[in-house]
Amino acid sequence: MHMWRTIPFEKMGWRNVRQSHRDAIINHLEENFNFDEAERDYEAQYLKDGIEHVLMKRYSGRKNLAKREFLKSGGYNDVERARAPPPPPP
């Protein structure tokens, strides 16, 4: 399972995410949010730390959801079924 079809969820924690994937996440966010304005703020370090914390928490949360779905769909006992696309909604 991937976020934006390129960011994998198999890593435990933000520090274990490959640098190229971290860069892709940051680039995506920079395209959609005005980080320059936050950097000029006198509390920029606190904001940046907060943003990084949110990124780590979101990555962990989405990874957890993906892992639960993987295990529910067959998990390691039936990897092919677990990786198959979900059926279309009714």
How confident is the chain (90 residues) per 10-residue block, as mean pLDDT? 60 80 82 74 68 78 82 86 76
Instruction: Give residues with Cβ within 8 angstroms of 67, minimum separation 6.
Output: 9
Helices 44-72/19-32 angle, 10° precision: 120
Please give the Cα distance from 71 to 66 (Å, whole number). Answer: 9
Count of domains forming the chain: 1
Do the domain assignments include residue 90?
no
- 88 occurs within a structural domain: no
pLDDT number for residue 44:
65
State residue 83's pLDDT score: 80
pLDDT of residue 30: 80
For residue 36, what pLDDT is reported? 73
Range of the domain at 23: 2-83
Q: What's residue 74's pLDDT?
A: 85
Q: Please indicate, yes or no, if residue 11 is contained in any of the structural domains.
A: yes
What pLDDT does 21 receive? Answer: 82
